[in-house]
Amino acid sequence: MAEEALVNRYCLDEEGFPELLRDTAFRLGISEHPEYEGREYEEYGTQRCEVTIHVGRSKEFPDIRPWRVSMIGFQFADTYQAAARKALRYLCQIYERPIAHTPMRLFPPLLRDTPVWKSPERYNQQARRLKRCIREAEEAEVQIRQLRIRVTEAHARAAAAENHEAIAVEALKLEEDRHTQQLKDAYLITQAKRRMIITDGQQHTVLDGIPITFVGKPGEGPSAPPPTEVSLEASEADVAEEEPLPLTQKVKE
> Which of 110, 140, 165 is the C-terminal boundary of a domain?
110
CATH number for the domain including 33? 3.30.160
Mean pLDDT over residues 93-100, rounded? Answer: 84
Instruction: Choose one of 79, 110, 141: the last residue of a domain.
Output: 110
Q: What is the pLDDT of residue 251?
A: 43
pTM for this prediction? 0.44
126 & 29 share domain: no
Q: What is the pLDDT of residue 192?
A: 79
Which residue range(s) make up the domain with 136? 119-200
Kind and range of the H or E run holding 157 = helix 120-203
Residues 95 and 136 in one domain: no
pLDDT, mean of residues 34-47: 88
Considering only CA atoms, which of 77, 82, 30, 74 is closest in space to residue 53? 82
Count of domains in the chain? 2
Do 26 and 75 share a domain, yes or no? yes
Q: What is the pLDDT of residue 154?
A: 93
Instruction: Compare 86 and 103 and report the one with higher pLDDT.
Output: 86
- Are 14 and 95 contained in the same domain? yes
Quick one: pLDDT at residue 202?
62
Using the 3D structure, point to which of 80, 110, 140 is the last residue of a domain. 110
Q: Are 145 and 195 within one domain?
A: yes
Whether the CB-CB separation of 67 and 58 falls below 8 Å is answered with: no
Neighbouring-strand partners of residue 41: 48
One domain, residues 13 and 66: yes
Give percent of the chain above pLDDT 70: 72
Tens digits of residue pLDDT in 142-153:
898 899 899 999
Q: Which of 39-53, 93-107, 118-132 has the lowest average pLDDT? A: 118-132
Mean pLDDT over the full length of the chain = 78
Residue 247's alpha-carbon distances to 236, 239, 243, 250, in angstroms, are 23, 19, 12, 7
